[in-house]
A and B are shown apart, each in its own frame.
Chain A
Amino acid sequence: MTSWIDVVGLHDLDLLLEEARGGGARQRTLSLGFRLGGLAALERSRVRLQARLDGRWAHAYERAQRRYGRGVVAVRDRVCQGCFITLPTCAAASRDSLTVCESCGRILSWR
């Protein structure tokens, strides 16, 4: 069973990989003198983490990631921080439950 810990962990790892893979953030980090030699190991960690997700959640994550650049978004004050729709009160059974925003399709983090 997929847990919110795995989904949020994958999301945070993707944020880190975004900084490390290329573009201005990578160049700036290197210019500060930091080494990024662990990139290949983190790519392998991503594969392992993604394999722990059930097919349904892996699919929802990748689809939202491709479409919006982020697979998961936070919920603050019952508002999806991806599309800013107010979510119905019945949307989350508990803070640990995984749900998808019915408006934009991103996975919601209620924590």
Chain B
Amino acid sequence: MSILVGPALHPAHLIPDLKGHSRVSVLGELARQAQRLGATREPAMLRSALLMRERLGSTAAGHGCAVPNARSLLVTRSVLLVGRSRGGVEWGAEDGAAVRLVLLVISPAETSAPGHVAAVAGAVEAARPVRARQRLFDSDSPGEIAELLGAVRA
């Protein structure tokens, strides 16, 4: 089990102002960032895997937060990326809220299904308390974000 977020969040793991205005474009943006971080060499295929997960059911967790995720053969290491959208993105949430905070969790194919879901659960639970979620929405400090997400493991 590896820690997805270290004591300090690398700034490259945080996209403070997502450019995309749709779920598809945001997932593409995050997949390209994963490529820049060396977690995948095939961002288009990673985006396809993320969209496939959305077809299974929306990954919106409510209260303006979404946790898109995928296990893929084309992912070389587990990564958590944090993206924020100022305008909000429609994500098919049950509460109808536009998503402003996106926590992307990707794992290599070797990761077990329970291990991957545990990492997703860690991200969901980190953003569940109202105060923590608000800090994730607002904080510009990678250290504070890392602290809030410190329990997320894969």
Contact = CB atoms under 8 A, between A and B. Distances in A.
A109 B113 contact: no
B33 interface: no
Interface string A48-86: 000000000000000000000010111010000100000
B109 A25 contact: no
A111 B124 contact: no
A5 interface: yes
A12 B72 contact: yes
A103 interface: no
Interface in B31-76: 41-42, 45, 48-49, 52-53, 55-59, 61-62, 70-74, 76
Interface size class of B (residues with CB under 8 A): 20 to 34
A36 B118 CA distance: 17
B58 A12 contact: no
Contacts of A41: 55
Contacts of A16: 49, 52-53, 56, 70-71
A15 interface: yes
A31 to B, nearest CB: 8
B56 A39 contact: yes
Contact of B56 (A9, A33, A36, A76): A36
A22 B144 CA distance: 37
B8 interface: no
Contact of A24 (B45, B57, B71, B114): B114
Given A8-B45, A28-B121, A109-B73, A18 B61 contact: no
A29 to B, nearest CB: 6
A8 B74 contact: yes
Q: Which 10 A-B pairs have the closest CB atoms?
A: A25-B113, A35-B57, A38-B56, A25-B117, A15-B71, A19-B113, A12-B49, A38-B55, A28-B117, A36-B57
Interface of B: 41-42, 45, 48-49, 52-53, 55-59, 61-62, 70-74, 76, 94, 108-110, 113-114, 116-118, 120-121, 124
Given A23-B113, A29-B117, A111-B42, 15 more contacts: A8-B45, A8-B73, A8-B74, A9-B45, A12-B45, A12-B71, A12-B72, A16-B56, A25-B113, A25-B114, A36-B57, A38-B57, A42-B52, A73-B109, A109-B74
